[in-house]
Amino acid sequence: MSVGETLSKMSLGKSFVISTIIAFGALVFAFNFVKDYYSDKDKVYAAMLQDSTKTVAFLDERVKVTYSKYSKTTYEVTCQYDAEGKHYNDGKFVLDSMPSAPIMVVYYSKEDPTILCPDPQKAYDKAVADRRSGWATILYVIISLLVALFSGVNAIIKFKRLTA
């Protein structure tokens, strides 16, 4: 086997690996997009607004702070509250800023009172905006799959040249 054949086989293997990685990444991205796109979050927030299901939450001192390099800091708050005639000790919701008082009015879902939201209008608007921005994601997935296809075809062409 000559050096040229060895290099060609390495190039062939590299093309197959690259096309497989790109295709796998695009498919994972597409799966996550579809999962988020078809979620019913916006319907839950709309129902909270329509039903006006509010309750008073008694915030715990425990606040989980999440620092993100690319987005703003979030604060996950745990609380106790009453909803639909039942007491809950382990409610959780996320805020954009540290809570300023130990008591807060929050909305809850009638179907599932464990779902809490301090501002369902803001959450609804974000869910709708995320759904609308889906076309950019679809375009990204299509371009990624085309690049993977091109790379795979390139590898097949190289393979045919080697076997000829």
**For 86-97, how does the pLDDT look when each residue is reduced to its tens digit (9 = 90+)?**
999 989 998 888
Residue with tokens 């800023």: 97
Q: Which helix (H) or strand (E) holds 81?
A: strand 74-83
Cα distance between residue 102 and residue 100, in whole Å: 7
- Helix or strand run (H / E) with residue 148: helix 134-163
Percent of the chain past pLDDT 70, that is, above it, reads 82
Q: How far is CA 147 from the centre of its chain?
A: 24
pLDDT above 90 for 39: no
Across the beta sheet with 116-117, what order do the strands follow? 86-95, 74-83, 54-66, 103-108, 116-117
Q: What per-residue string of b and e applies to 23-49 under the rule 16 or more CB within 10 Å gives b?
A: beebeeebeebeeeeeeebbebbbbbe
- CA 131 distance to own-chain centroid: 11
pLDDT at 103 over 90: yes
Helix axes 134-163, 3-37, angle to 10 degrees: 160
Domain ranges of the chain: 3-37+134-163, 44-130
Residues 19-36: tens digit of each pLDDT: 778 777 777 777 776 666
Hey, what amino acid is at 164? A
pLDDT at 53 over 80: yes
Distance of CA 123 to the CA centre of its chain: 14
